[in-house]
């Protein structure tokens, strides 16, 4: 082969490699754009922006079949909220009116669950069918107990004494009461009898039990047992006499930097444990109400309430997931969750920043906004203003880093722990804190 031929062959090889690289780069870019458009149409469907939905569909009609992590389509999202114009637009572009999400729910099942009567009629007129039960997301078969060795933690209802029960909290699912188990005060999460046959409630209840059974850490509320074979379903955890951080801050107002840092250290220790790879547990509802004080001296904190948590098996530390948007409490919600975008464990870091801010400032972030409006304000790029003199430059820098709009820029809880330990060394200590600090 002549040198000229050889050079030409070499050039051809380089061109082929270059072309392959360009192709791979193009494919990656294309995939990124597709994910972005998927998030956009789900977001606009949620926001009742029919014009934006139409514009996206005119540019790319295949987006009518877009799905998130839970296999929910734009039609599911719009039907749940009762957005008639958006649904009409989606159906016009060929949306599958009987698409099923990962719970086998159709858009009609969601509309029925939300009692959106006009939406129900509209979907039925287009052949919509319901695979849900009262609109609840559920598996078609009964959900089995989470683990086989139920005898280790299944509690006989007769062992629980409610004669001097005191209400701790109440919600749409049921109530949490202080009761006694074999003479010991415990917290009992009791499902309302009217919801005992709702399969979403049963599924979520068993999911929470399944998570709690596996958790063992000084800064995580300790699971003691559950009632899963009789009604009402009950989940039993240790009772913490100090109440929750929300109530504590309401009474005390802003904390001293030393106390705030000690509180933050306990929260961060619990969260570092939950975020440990490869079996990462994303809390997804970290807020003051879900942080509990062991006693009235407030010398030890624990993270609780894992009803919305997700157990994720991580193959890669940078893995992100398209999970259900708007999971958790609006005021402490990360912008990527509010926008229905891909997110990972760093959503908890964002919530932690909001809690630390509240501990130092003595009021919730954007207290003058309603929770939903606060979350929207945050998603638009706004952050709370620092006013307290107690918020040292180091703490302010940490908070700002933790609530960064780019989740990849937020530190891990392990890094947060290290930073807090360094900050603690520079602060005068509060005399009542000692037993649990290292």
Catalytic residue from among 68, 198, 266, 285? 285
Q: Which of 246, 300, 248 is nearest to 269 (CA)?
A: 300
Q: How far is CA 49 from the centre of its chain?
A: 25
Q: Catalytic: 394? A: no
Alpha-carbon gap, residue 106 to 132, rounded angstroms = 7
**Cα dihedral value 297, 306, 350, 40, nearest 10:** -160
List for the chain the helix, strand, coil content (%; round to 5): 45, 15, 40
Three-state SS at 75: helix
SS3 readout for 127-154? CCCCCCECCECCCCCCCCCCCCCHHHCE
Question: What end-to-end distance do the CA atoms of the chain give, in Å?
Answer: 75
In terms of residues, how long is the chain?
438
Spacing of C-alpha 244 from chain mean position? 19
**Cα separation, 337 vs 342, whole angstroms:** 8
| CA pair distance 188, 178, nearest whole angstrom | 6
Collapsed DSSP state (helix, strand, coil) of residue 406: coil
Buried b (16+ CB within 10 A) or exposed e, 1-26: eeeeeeeeeeeeeeeeeeeeeeeeee
302 is in an annotated binding site: no
Cα–Cα distance measured from residue 432 to residue 188, given in angstroms and rounded to the nearest whole number:
30
- Pick from 145, 147, 139, 146: which is nearest to 199 by CA? 139
Residues in the annotated binding site: 189
Residues in the annotated binding site for ATP: 189
Q: Which residues are catalytic?
A: 285
């Amino acid at each position: 082969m002549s040198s000229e031929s050889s050079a030409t062959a070499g050039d051809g090889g380089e061109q082929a490699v270059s072309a392959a690289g360009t192709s791979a780069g193009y494919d990656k870019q294309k995939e990124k754009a597709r994910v972005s458009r998927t998030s956009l149409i789900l977001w606009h469907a949620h926001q009742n922006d029919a014009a934006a939905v139409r514009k996206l569909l005119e540019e790319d009609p295949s987006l009518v079949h877009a799905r998130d992590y839970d296999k929910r389509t734009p039609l599911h999202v719009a039907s749940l909220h009762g957005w008639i114009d958006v649904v009409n637009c989606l159906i016009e572009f060929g949306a599958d009116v009987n698409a099923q999400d990962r719970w086998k729910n159709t858009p009609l099942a969601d509309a029925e669950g939300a009692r959106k009567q006009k939406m129900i009629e509209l979907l039925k007129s287009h052949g919509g069918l319901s695979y849900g039960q009262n609109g609840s997301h559920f598996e078609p078969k009964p959900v089995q107990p989470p683990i086989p060795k139920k005898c280790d933690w299944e509690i006989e209802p007769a062992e629980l004494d409610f004669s001097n029960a005191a209400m701790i909290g109440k919600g749409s699912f049921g109530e949490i009461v202080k009761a006694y188990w074999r003479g010991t005060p415990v917290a009992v999460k009791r499902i309302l009898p009217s919801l005992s046959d709702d399969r979403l409630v049963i599924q979520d209840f068993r999911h929470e039990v399944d998570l709690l059974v596996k958790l063992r850490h000084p800064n995580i509320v300790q699971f003691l047992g559950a009632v899963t074979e009789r009604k009402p379903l009950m989940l039993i955890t240790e009772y913490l006499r100090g109440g929750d951080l929300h109530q504590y801050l309401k009474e005390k107002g802003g904390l001293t930097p030393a106390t705030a840092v000690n509180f933050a250290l306990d929260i961060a220790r619990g969260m570092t444990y939950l975020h440990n790879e490869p079996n990462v547990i994303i809390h997804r509802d970290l807020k003051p109400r879900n942080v509990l004080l062991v006693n009235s001296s407030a010398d030890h904190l624990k993270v609780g309430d894992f009803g919305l948590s997700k157990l994720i098996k991580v193959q890669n530390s940078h893995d992100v997931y398209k999970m259900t948007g708007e999971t958790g409490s609006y005021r402490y919600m990360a912008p990527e969750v509010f926008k229905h975008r891909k997110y990972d464990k760093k959503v908890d870091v964002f919530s932690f920043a909001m809690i630390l801010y509240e501990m130092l400032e003595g009021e919730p972030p954007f207290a003058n906004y309603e929770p939903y409006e606060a979350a929207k304000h945050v998603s638009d790029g706004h952050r709370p203003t620092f006013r307290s003199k107690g918020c040292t430059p180091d703490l302010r820098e940490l908070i700002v880093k933790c609530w960064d709009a780019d989740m990849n820029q937020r530190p891990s809880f392990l890094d947060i722990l290290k930073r807090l330990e360094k900050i603690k060394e520079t602060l005068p200590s509060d005399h009542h804190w000692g037993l649990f600090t290292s």
